[in-house]
Amino acid sequence: NAGVTQTPKFQVLKTGQSMTLQCAQDMNHEYMSWYRQDPGMGLRLIHYSVGAGITDQGEVPNGYNVSRSTTEDFPLRLLSAAPSQTSVYFCASRMTGGANTEAFFGQGTRLTVV
């Protein structure tokens, strides 16, 4: 069982470069989300999606774009990387509706912007 798969695991970018963090789940979950984890701040919501074709902003959306063309995939795009985006990024999925169910997380992508 793959669960939630994130690629790459590590990435170094130069300021101004763009890239896409990939996330795929095989549990047929409708609800998917992206978080970033920074020291002392827990996990903060970047963007989320309640189903294919539907996305919305979380707490810290600036500098990131998402799309949801299929139930399985939820890529996160960094438009023009900045050092402030150095962080560990986690993708998560939850069952239909997202209420009163646990979220399953990928292993994370550690991104460094220099």
Binding stretches for another protein (CB under 8 A)? 4, 6, 31, 33, 35, 40-45, 48, 50, 56, 58, 90, 92, 97-100, 102-108
Task: Give the integer Cα–Cα distance in Å for 93 and 58.
Answer: 15
Considering the complex, what minimum distance in angstroms separates the CB of residue 63 from another protein?
19
Q: Which is nearer to another protein, 14 or 42 (CB)?
A: 42
Considering the complex, what minimum distance in angstroms separates the CB of residue 107 from another protein?
5
Considering the complex, what minimum distance in angstroms separates the CB of residue 64 from another protein?
15
Cite the beta strand spans of the chain per DSSP E.
Answer: 4-7, 10-13, 19-25, 31-37, 43-51, 54-57, 64-66, 76-78, 87-94, 104-105, 109-113
Q: How many C-beta neighbours within 10 Å does residue 76 have? A: 21
Q: Enumerate the β-bridge partners of residue 109.
A: 89
Q: Which is nearer to another protein, 24 or 108 (CB)?
A: 108
Q: Which is nearer to another protein, 14 or 100 (CB)?
A: 100
